[in-house]
Structure formats: C-alpha cells, structure tokens
Amino acid sequence: MTYVTTKDGVEIFFKDWGPKDAQPIVFHHGWPLSSDDWDTQMLFFLQHGYRVVAHDRRGHGRSSQVSEGHDIAHYAADAAAVAEHLDLRNAVHIGHSTGGGEVAAYVARYGIPQGRVAKAVLVSAIPPIMLKTERYPGGLPIEVFDGFRSELAANRAQFFRDVAAGPFYGFNREGAKMLSAVIDNWWRQGMMGSAKAHHDGIKAFSETDQTDDLKAMTVPTLVLHGDDDQIVPYRNSAVLQAEILPDPTLKIYEGFPHGMLTVNADTINPDLLAFIES
C-alpha cells in the first residue's frame, strides 16, 4: 500500500523506493507542492544505494483533501505516521521551505524521542518564523502573507503560475534562463492539492514560531540556503537557524534562488551526499 491513515483519519500518500535494509532518507516538500518535487534527489540517492521515502502533506498532492489540520503540528504528526508505519530508523530527514518547518517539528517532537533520526537537513527552510514579530523583528510584515491569501483566493491558478515563473526559481532575474517545463511541473503539483489546505498553509508557514523545535534538534543538522532567495530571505532563516541549532553546519550559496534543489541540483545533491556520508 502507498497510503497510511493517520490517527485522525487522513490518508497520506507516500513513495518508498530502494532496498528496505538501506539507510532511509526522508524528503519533506514545500508549499504548495507534493513529493514529486523531490524526484531528482530521490533518483540520485537511490542510485547511491539509499532507501528514499517521500510523502504528500495532507491536502497536497495525492493525500486526502481534508478541511482541518493544516498546521505545523499536524504536518509533523503525519510525517511521524509515515515513519512509524515504515518503521524507519537511523533516518536522515531533509525538508525544503515549509518542509523544513515540518522536519524541525518532526525531528524535535517525534524523531529524536523515538530514536529514529540520525541527521537532518533544512533547505531554504522557514524556521524559526517568517513573520515579523517582537522576538524576530527582521521578519516579513503580515501584509505580505495577507497578499498571498488574497491572490490565492482570487485566482489560484494564475497566482501559482506567477510564483513559479517569477521569484521561486529566480526566473524574474535579468539574464535568467526560463525553464517552461519546470514552471509547468510546479503548477501541476500545486493544482493537484486543495485550495483550502494551501490557504490555511500560508498561516502555518508564516506565523509558527519554531524556535523551541530548533533548540531540540540535537542531531547534526545541515542548513542550506541561497542568498538570492526571494521567498524565504536567508538572513531571517538560515542564519538564525545556525545560531539556534545545537549542532549546525551552515552553507550559503551565492546567487541561488529558493527553488535551488531543482535548478541547481548538480551542486546541491553532492553536498547533501557528502553531509550524509560524513
């Protein structure tokens, strides 16, 4: 079966490829995408002998389009349901963007307490919090996220097209090579999911303070970010993550965009492999 049912009755779709006795690498996708966003990395690590696992977050991809539970706490619990169902141990959990918040919550609240996690990777990730707060004054104002909600509600299809064709991959930068198939694939993944999940997810990825999750991530954690990330600015995310995490390794890539896992996979994948094998 490629689905696991959570305690609150949500069907979570997952992929599980490779030798079942190999070390597992678990991939957590960003908003509003699906596990398909990790295809390049999953094939890369499969060829290096690893077991690779990825799931579609609730309301995303092929998982149930439920009305409730679109928050970091449920995201982490759903990831735990997959890990427990497959009995994954000594696993490396890699999360991109909102998936990085999911990884932080899963590792801190389930993975380490259950003894299932060896290492973690946060890529272009949202923690500790994207929103400007008294604790983190360098964050983005709430009006930015209100704008996202308004655009999604008015015309989700156009909004998703504009994000993928513009800031997500840096295609709006002068001299950037536009990759139409990459844009189409981002749009396809987004439109597979639920508008309700995506709308609620904006609050989840912008307003959840995960400082305590980062503090509890006592496993070695690699932090990767591009300094031209127009979605999650690295100074209020990766730099702070490295200051809060107990055992961090920080690497900032000059000129890389938010979607660097796709458009810069030839650089990112070997760096991920080196960290996992270190």
Q: How far apart are CA 241 and CA 168, in angstroms?
A: 21
**Is 247 an annotated catalytic residue?**
no
**Residue 224: in which H helix or E strand, if any?**
strand 221-226
Q: Is 127 helix (H, G, I), strand (E, B) or coil?
A: coil
- Between the alpha carbon of residue 260 and those of residues 87, 93, 119, 146, 154, the distances in Å are 30, 18, 21, 26, 28
Strand partners, 53: 16, 26
**Is 97 an annotated catalytic residue?**
yes
Q: How many CA atoms lie within 13 A of 164 on its CB side?
A: 25
Amino acid letter, residue 67 = S
**Is 64 an annotated catalytic residue?**
no
Strands 51-55 and 11-17: antiparallel
Q: CA torsion 264→266→267→269, rounded to 10°?
A: 110
Catalytic residue among 213, 225, 229, 237, which?
Answer: 229
Catalytic residue among 28, 55, 70, 258, which?
Answer: 258
Spatial CA neighbour of 144 closest among 238, 68, 217, 207 = 207
Q: How far apart are CA 205 and CA 31, in angstroms?
A: 8
Catalytic residue among 35, 63, 64, 97, which?
Answer: 97
Q: CA torsion 54→60→63→66, rounded to 10°?
A: 140
Active-site residues, by number, are 97, 229, 258
